[in-house]
């Protein structure tokens, strides 16, 4: 008999998205909780999604001349304190190691919240001349941030996986060009792989990365009504270079400080994808990142079982030649209906059903996970139909999500209207003056913040709080 715990979501996404999400990530075998709050197990199915992101992004940054490296997990306190603004921004989130075995350490060691300080200490030893630049390093690792907010698996945790790129240039112009190049790559990860549309923009001063000159980000909105910061690309200017003495001799033989960037994308991307596309049956995973794209379910009877399984395996072998990931579910201790529900719950893109009558008719039934649409496909056409249908599903998921994003951003002309829009679990867009006073009132009145100021939507208008003329347009909403 089927195992009860692996079947069925018991709440609707529209009625209780928090409980829905908790059930989906566990029942779809994406994550498991541990005894340490905010630290989850990435089960093979979610880690496979992360591997697809890693594969794509790693290939693209190497085209830009970035090299992978690895720096220590433990950072001496004296290094973390070298950049005052930076440490002030991260101080509440740092986990400290104070004892090794029975020995109390002479200096506290921070468990990596981010690696600027330990990496830039090394950069100061390696950079001497303009010929040593640009220096472009990245590392794939985990970080620990001892968040005190409510932990949400993938979206907000104390330990998460990410990449962190740290680059140094001889000129500000070259550094700033990279900031946008990387942000565009992050947009491609979300839109091309995860089918999640995002908005590129720049953060306000109070929302920027601690110690940096400015922060650019991609932002999106999910069906919970909350916004998510999807990835960030920071221009650090010369702030860290001055703190860590990253100096070089330029072509004229004069000393200069390097211009630096840092940038990162995290496993938050997986949670964003789950929230955006999932439905009452479970998770929906876009084909380009799906651990399993097609499941073939043989409809088995005693007298035709061997024949049907053999044909199902033959079809699977044929589809694998077209770079499609396949599983033939020949388990005979589960009913076909139970298998259908299980693979829908786990988000397999296409289900192919084949029984003895189908073989006689030279056809199979193909069911798409996102729409539930069923099609009868000739067996001889299947190897062409499946890759094409996977491409259509990928495109359709993005188009649907883009429409959702457009429907949930509302232009507002007054403060009261802004608060009302946010109360309705949407994102408001308006002209504003990006001051601390504005940010404080936004948090007090609406429990919200400025997501970013979109690059493609800056125009002159009147601040909805002060009525003063401003060229800034912001997106405002509640966030995870």
What are residue 14's phi and psi, to 5 degrees? -75, -20
Q: Is residue 69 part of a domain?
A: yes
- 100/358 Cα distance (integer angstroms): 66
Residue pair 258/236 in contact (Cβ under 8 Å)? The answer is no
- 53/266 Cα distance (integer angstroms): 10
Which one, of 28, 31, 51, lies nearest residue 43 by Cα?
A: 31
- 154/139 Cα distance (integer angstroms): 19
Q: Is residue 7 part of a domain?
A: no
- 155/134 Cα distance (integer angstroms): 33
* Tens-place pLDDT, residues 349-361: 999 999 999 999 9
Same domain, 130 and 228: yes
Same domain, 338 and 431: no
Same domain, 271 and 299: no
For 57, the token pair is 């992004």
Q: CATH number for the domain including 264?
A: 3.30.930.10
Same domain, 272 and 302: no
Q: Is residue 6 part of a domain?
A: no
Which one, of 408, 406, 375, 409, lies nearest residue 392 by Cα?
A: 375
Give me the pLDDT at residue 83, please. 73
Report, as ranges of residue numbers, the positions in the chain whose pLDDT lies below 50: 1-6
Same domain, 316 and 432: no
Same domain, 378 and 418: no
Distance between alpha carbon 433 and the CA centroid of its chain, in Å?
29
Give me the pLDDT at residue 148, please. 64
Same domain, 467 and 340: no
Same domain, 125 and 268: yes
Same domain, 150 and 179: yes
Q: Is residue 82 part of a domain?
A: yes
- 377/364 Cα distance (integer angstroms): 5
Q: CATH number for the domain including 320?
A: 3.40.50.800
**Does the CA dihedral 340-343-349-352 come out positive or negative?**
negative
Q: Is residue 394 part of a domain?
A: no
Strand-strand pairing, 294-298 and 350-354: parallel
Same domain, 246 and 347: no
Distance between alpha carbon 295 and the CA centroid of its chain, in Å?
26
Residue pair 283/30 in contact (Cβ under 8 Å)? The answer is yes
Q: Which domain holds residue 426?
A: 409-477
Q: How many domains does the chain have?
A: 3
Residue where a domain stops, chosen among 343, 358, 389:
389
- 110/108 Cα distance (integer angstroms): 7
Residue where a domain stops, chosen among 251, 277, 303:
277
Same domain, 128 and 30: yes
Q: Any idea which residue has 């990365």 for tokens? A: 209
Q: CATH number for the domain including 444?
A: 3.30.110.30
Q: What separation, in Å, do the N-terminal and C-terminal C-alpha atoms of the chain show?
A: 39
Give me the pLDDT at residue 2, please. 38
Same domain, 194 and 322: no
Q: Is residue 10 part of a domain?
A: no
**Does the CA dihedral 202-207-213-219 come out positive or negative?**
negative
Residue pair 175/260 in contact (Cβ under 8 Å)? The answer is yes
Q: Is residue 404 part of a domain?
A: no
Return the exposure string of 284-312: e unless at least 16 CB atoms fall within 10 Å of the residue's CB, then b: bbbbbbbbbbbbbbbbbeeebeeebbebb
- 42/83 Cα distance (integer angstroms): 33
| Kind plus residue range of the DSSP H or E element containing 277 | helix 268-277
Residue pair 95/111 in contact (Cβ under 8 Å)? The answer is yes
Q: Is residue 286 part of a domain?
A: no
Give me the pLDDT at residue 4, please. 41
């Amino acid at each position: 008999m089927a195992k009860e715990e692996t079947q069925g979501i018991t709440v609707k996404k529209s009625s209780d998205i928090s409980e829905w999400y908790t059930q989906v990530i566990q029942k779809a075998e994406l994550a498991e909780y541990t005894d340490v709050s905010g630290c989850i197990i990435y089960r093979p199915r979610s880690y496979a999604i992360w591997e697809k992101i890693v594969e794509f992004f790693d290939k693209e940054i190497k085209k830009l001349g970035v090299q992978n490296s690895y720096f220590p997990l433990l950072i001496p306190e004296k290094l973390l304190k070298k950049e005052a603004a930076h440490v002030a921004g991260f101080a509440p989130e740092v986990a400290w190691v104070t004892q090794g075995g029975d020995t109390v350490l002479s200096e506290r060691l921070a468990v990596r919240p981010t690696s600027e300080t330990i990496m830039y200490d090394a950069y100061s030893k390696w950079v001497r001349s303009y010929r040593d630049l640009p220096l472009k390093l990245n590392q794939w690792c985990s970080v620990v941030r001892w968040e005190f907010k409510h932990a949400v698996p993938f979206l907000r945790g104390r330990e998460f996986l990410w990449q962190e790129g740290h680059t140094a240039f001889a000129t500000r112009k070259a550094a700033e060009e990279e900031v946008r190049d990387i942000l565009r790559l992050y947009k491609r990860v979300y839109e091309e792989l995860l089918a999640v549309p995002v908005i590129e923009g720049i953060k306000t001063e109070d929302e920027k990365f601690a110690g940096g000159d400015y922060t650019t980000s991609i932002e999106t909105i999910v069906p919970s009504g909350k916004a998510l910061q999807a990835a960030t690309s920071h221009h650090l200017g010369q702030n860290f270079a001055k703190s860590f003495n990253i100096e070089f001799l330029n072509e004229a033989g004069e000393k200069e400080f390097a211009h630096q960037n840092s940038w990162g994308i995290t496993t938050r991307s997986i949670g964003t994808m789950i929230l955006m596309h999932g439905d009452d049956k479970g998770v929906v995973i876009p084909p380009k990142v799906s651990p399993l794209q097609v499941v073939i379910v043989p409809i088995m009877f005693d007298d035709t079982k061997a024949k049907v399984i053999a044909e199902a395996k033959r079809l699977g072998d044929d589809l694998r030649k077209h770079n499609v990931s396949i599983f033939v579910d020949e388990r005979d201790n589960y009913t076909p209906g139970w298998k259908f529900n299980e693979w829908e719950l786990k988000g397999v893109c296409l289900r192919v059903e084949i029984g003895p009558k189908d073989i006689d008719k030279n056809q199979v039934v193909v069911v798409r996970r996102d729409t539930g649409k069923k099609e009868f496909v000739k067996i001889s056409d299947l190897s062409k139909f499946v890759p094409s249908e996977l491409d259509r599903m990928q495109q359709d998921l993005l188009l649907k999500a883009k429409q959702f994003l457009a429907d949930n951003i509302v232009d507002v002309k007054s403060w009261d209207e802004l608060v009302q829009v946010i109360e309705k679990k949407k994102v408001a867009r308006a002209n504003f003056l990006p001051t601390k006073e504005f940010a404080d009132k936004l948090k007090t009145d609406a429990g919200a913040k400025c997501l970013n100021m979109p690059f493609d939507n800056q125009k002159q208008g009147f601040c909805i709080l002060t009525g003063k003329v401003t060229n800034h347009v912001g997106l405002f909403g509640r966030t995870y």
